[in-house]
Amino acid sequence: QVQLVESGGGLVQPGGSLRLSCAASGSIFSINAMAWYRQAPGKERELVADITAGGHTNYADSVKGRFTIFRDNAKNTTYLQIYSLKPEDTAVYYCNANIVPIRSRYYGMDYWGKGTLVTVSS
């Protein structure tokens, strides 16, 4: 079965850095877009950044200049490099990917990881 697993979250002081990873595994034919979302307590889930299979990126205004999304297609993995963390970045970060299963070979389906918690506090 196709799965997404996030890692790299933790407790970081304001101004610190962190790198999140999201690895896709299973019977994968190809991966289209991959993305990072986050959800803070009491707030709706929001898109943080996304990246196409060809490497085109998009960012939320609140994270531009601090967050960088990239991917390693050979490893079916996407990363979110974060600098200058702020307390308002505290949230559960979720990985999302549109994946074409081997048995399909035509249409992609959305998959979600279970999330990794990032806490920014002094």
pLDDT for res 106: 87
pLDDT for res 71: 98
Q: Which residues pair with 10 in a beta bridge?
A: 118
DSSP per position, 26-83: SSEEEEEEEEEEEE-TTS--EEEEEE-TT--EEE-GGGTTTEEEEEEGGGTEEEEEE-
Q: Judge whether 24 and 31 are in contact, CB under 8 Å.
A: yes
Q: Judge whether 113 and 22 are in contact, CB under 8 Å.
A: yes
In the chain (122 residues long), the average pLDDT of successive 10-residue segments reads 96 98 97 98 96 97 97 97 97 98 91 98 94
pLDDT for res 19: 98
Kindly report each contact of residues 103-109 with a partner whose C-beta sits within 8 Å and lies 24 or more positions away, as own/partner: 103/27, 104/29, 105/29, 108/30, 108/31, 108/32
- d(C-alpha 100, C-alpha 29), whole Å: 5
- d(C-alpha 23, C-alpha 7), whole Å: 9
Report the 10 Å Cβ neighbour count for 66: 15
Alpha carbon distance, N-terminus to C-terminus of the chain: 40
